[in-house]
Amino acid sequence: MEINERTPLIFTGRITSPPQRYQDTVERRFFRVAIRSTLIGVALFILFHQLPRPVVDTQTCYSSLGTSRAYASAEALNNNIDNFCQDAANNVLFITIGRTRSKTYYPNTPEEYTMTVGLSNHAFGFDQHKCTDAMSSIISGCDVSVNGSNPMNWKQGGKRVQGKYTYQIDIFRQNRPWPPPAKPRQGCEGWYKFILQHYDIYGAGWANYDWGQKSLMSAINPCCGLGSLTGWGFEYFDQPDENGWWWSLDPAISDPSLFTGSEDRGITSCDSSHDLWS
């Protein structure tokens, strides 16, 4: 082999580092930081929600706000606590639109009102007993106080917030007499001619929600004799009339012994010996 002194004895070449298995690009660094931040956030969220926190429990009475003149008797409101809370418990799975459940009682009467329960988006389940306690608290705690007196125990409703649940009682009619009456009123007149009898009975402050069925009919029947009451024309006024009456009753009574008076006058007043107003 011919030796050429110009032939290099050592081969020179460019040496490069071996390629990395994973290239540490900007995008990879960004995703690593994002994943770490997300994991830290999730851990803090779980830790925060596991810590015991005080449950919000506040009650607001409409009487303290001075924005409403609607009121109802404690009896009318207490009558339906169990019915409402049972209904809400039975339908809790269907409380989706607005997360509320409402029910109106005694429509078209002076004591028409609505009970409502609202659930936050984080509320699950429903405790009927807590509902009963909250509604009872609103009724017992939200009196109508006029000059520090409330002899007929009128209520104005309100709202109670207990954690993720809101309970509310709203009374409908704003056109009732103000201040509320301190005692019930009643009156009656009787018109008759020969064998025809016509009686008008009026009231205010009582028989406000039952169309007189419970508070008045049960007194008239034994007073006049069994079977003497043959008709019941009871009417609530949209607002008190010029005499301050809230309702009127035109009963059909076959026995005129409930009333006293002479045939010549043609008009009588109620016989106070009959215990209609108890």
Digit-coded pLDDT (tens) for 98-131: 578 899 999 999 999 999 998 887 767 788 999 9
Q: pLDDT tens digit string along 160-177?
A: 999 888 999 999 999 888
Task: Specify if 19 maps to a domain.
Answer: no
Predicted confidence (pLDDT) at residue 182 exceeds the cutoff of 50: yes
Q: pLDDT tens digit string along 80-105?
A: 999 999 999 888 766 655 578 899 99
Same domain as 165, residue 61: yes
- Find out whether 216 and 207 touch, Cβ atoms under 8 Å: yes
Same domain as 128, residue 66: yes
Tokens standing for residue 8: 């290099």
Query: How are beta strands 165-171 and 113-119 bridged, if at all?
Result: antiparallel
Alpha carbon distance 131, 89 (integer Å): 9
Same domain as 147, residue 233: no
Query: How are beta strands 72-73 and 154-155 bridged, if at all?
Result: antiparallel
When divided into structural domains, the chain yields a total of 2
Same domain as 201, residue 121: no
Sheet with 165-171, strands from edge to edge, namely: 57-61, 158-162, 165-171, 113-119, 100-105
Same domain as 118, residue 190: no
Instruction: Determine the average pLDDT of the residues in 17-28.
Output: 60
Question: Does this model's pTM top 0.75?
Answer: no
User: Phi and psi (nearest 5°) for 161?
Assistant: -110, 120
CB within 8 Å of 22: residues ≥ 6 apart: 28
Weakest mean pLDDT among 143-157, 211-225, 248-262: 248-262
* Domain termination site, one of 144, 171, 198: 171
Same domain as 62, residue 156: yes
Higher pLDDT, 146 or 182: 182
* Domain termination site, one of 149, 171, 193: 171
Predicted confidence at residue 45, as pLDDT, reads 67
Q: Which amino acid is at 139?
A: I
- Find out whether 185 and 204 touch, Cβ atoms under 8 Å: yes
Range of the domain at 141: 57-171
CB within 8 Å of 191: residues ≥ 6 apart: 197, 198, 199, 200, 266, 267
Same domain as 106, residue 84: yes
Give 247's strand partners.
203, 236
Predicted confidence (pLDDT) at residue 273 exceeds the cutoff of 50: no
Tokens standing for residue 67: 């924005």
Predicted confidence (pLDDT) at residue 256 exceeds the cutoff of 70: no
Q: Closest Cα partner for 208 from 84, 105, 112, 80?
A: 112
Alpha carbon distance 111, 208 (integer Å): 6
CB within 8 Å of 275: residues ≥ 6 apart: 219, 223
Same domain as 167, residue 65: yes
Task: Specify if 48 maps to a domain.
Answer: no
Same domain as 62, residue 165: yes
